[in-house]
Amino acid sequence: MSGTSVLAGPAKLYIGGEWAEASDGARRDIISPATGTKIADVPEGTTADADAAIAAAKAAFPEWSAKSGRERSRILGRVAQLLGERLEDFAQAETQDVGKPILFTRMIDIPTAIEQFEYFAALAQTLDGAVRETPLPALSLVRREALGVVAAITPFNFPMILSASKLAPALAAGNTVVHKPAEDTPLSAFLLAEVLADAGVPSGVYNLITGPGAELGNHIVAHPDVSAIAFTGSTTVGKHIASVAGANLKPVMTELGGNGANIVFADADLEAAVTTVINAFVYNTGQFCMSGTRLLVERPIHDTLVGILADAVPHVPLGSPSEPGTVIGPLVSEKQRTRVQQLVDRAVADGGTILTGGSPLDLDGGYYYPPTIITGVPNDSEAVQEEIFGPVLTVQAFDTEAEAIQLANSTRFGLAAGVQTADTAKALRVTKALKAGIQWVNGWAMLDPSVPFGGYKDSGLGRESGPEALLNYTRSKSVTISVPPAP
């Protein structure tokens, strides 16, 4: 992979429609996960920079929120168009920055971000209030209004998708935004700021600040002029943000950790199930909150399915993310690879057996980890109960439908789940009983901007995508007008 950044020039903060260095001039190196070498350096913003970004967003809010939905729709539609014109730039940025295979950044990540802006551009025109019939001698109106300044704090694993899933509905609803991307993977955010400016998003409506997550994130979340927070990341950080927001009675939307159960019943199409299982745990090198990392297999087909997986998984193409045939790239950092290895080691210590993978790969100086399958892990093992965030699959057998549901619901997470079965009635029963916010039957990760997703339990609050997301970024105002009786 090239060591040259896709950015045309030095990266800068984008505040109030102007590009600027950090107030103290500090910068941070960005390291390629594929080679361990520097590919760029970016501003290390300060709390003073965050204050300036928030002030710019606050100043821009009255004019932006006063625009009609149709006006905002036109601008967001232009954003989608320009993203399409620069798709290759964005795909290369995600691949260099995150280590995502170019196959997926071209075919999934950037097209999905474009779809988010297209969808919410259309939905912006539908945001209206209602007239409510009541027995009162009055006319009751319900209006929907934007919240104000939204802090969008996005993670390292899907920078463009998870930025678009927040920015598009927030802007469509009439809010202004301060965007703080993950400190390790900010490159596409600089390109996105360029596109938003070129599309005609007014100065101050979108502001970009990069820098240390803990310091800047805490400052932004607690700032009195931030009206709402949209965050994707770890459950620990999400709970902290929710507590700070709660103390200040701010709306908060959090999409947090996951540890998805993928249930395969004996009546499932075995060939299709194998493909689904592999895709569900290796996609994005397992750095996917909706990964199907817990495989639950009905006992009559357990040994057969596991045997097929053990033979197939080592052949999934792994290597440089810039190669068009690569399916599995590197993990985002050495720190993340070390964490994955520690959880694999604990699974073995708890009685698990590694069928394939299980140790880091030495390849081009990057942070590679092979797809790993572990059987015989007890349900109370940390490898089963916690999010691994790497290409690791634990396998458990079950005997009854009730046991499968119990195992699937036995963690503190509740984001995604899958059911592989030929029995529609069974699929409906099981999906109703599963405590997960988004589920798939005979597939995995089938997503669309019109379909909401979000979690139960420790997997978060609120929903992204769909009309539900647009409503998250508004509040209702009720106005009742007395109507005197006719003379």
Tens-digit pLDDT string for the chain (487 aa): 344 567 877 899 999 999 999 999 999 999 999 999 999 999 999 999 999 999 999 999 999 999 999 999 999 999 999 999 999 999 999 999 999 999 999 999 999 999 999 999 999 999 988 999 899 999 999 999 999 999 999 999 999 999 999 999 999 999 999 999 999 999 999 999 999 999 999 999 999 999 998 889 999 999 999 999 999 999 999 999 999 999 999 999 999 999 999 999 999 999 999 999 999 999 999 999 999 999 999 999 999 999 999 999 999 999 999 999 999 999 999 999 999 999 999 999 999 999 999 999 999 999 999 999 999 999 999 999 999 999 999 999 999 999 999 999 999 999 999 999 999 999 999 999 999 999 999 999 999 999 999 999 999 999 999 999 999 999 999 999 999 888 8
Within 10 angstroms of residue 289's Cβ, the number of other Cβ atoms is: 28
pLDDT score for 5: 64
Domain limits of the chain? Answer: 13-256+459-477, 261-441
What is the topology classification, in CATH, of domain 261-441? Aldehyde Dehydrogenase; Chain A, domain 2 (3.40.309)
Query: Does the domain spanning 13-256+459-477 belong to CATH 3.30.465.10?
Result: no
Catalytic residue set = 166, 255, 289, 464
Burial class from Cβ neighbours inside 10 Å (0-12, 13-18, 19+) for residue 81 reads: middle
pLDDT score for 245: 92
Q: Is the pTM of this model over 0.85?
A: yes
pLDDT score for 4: 58
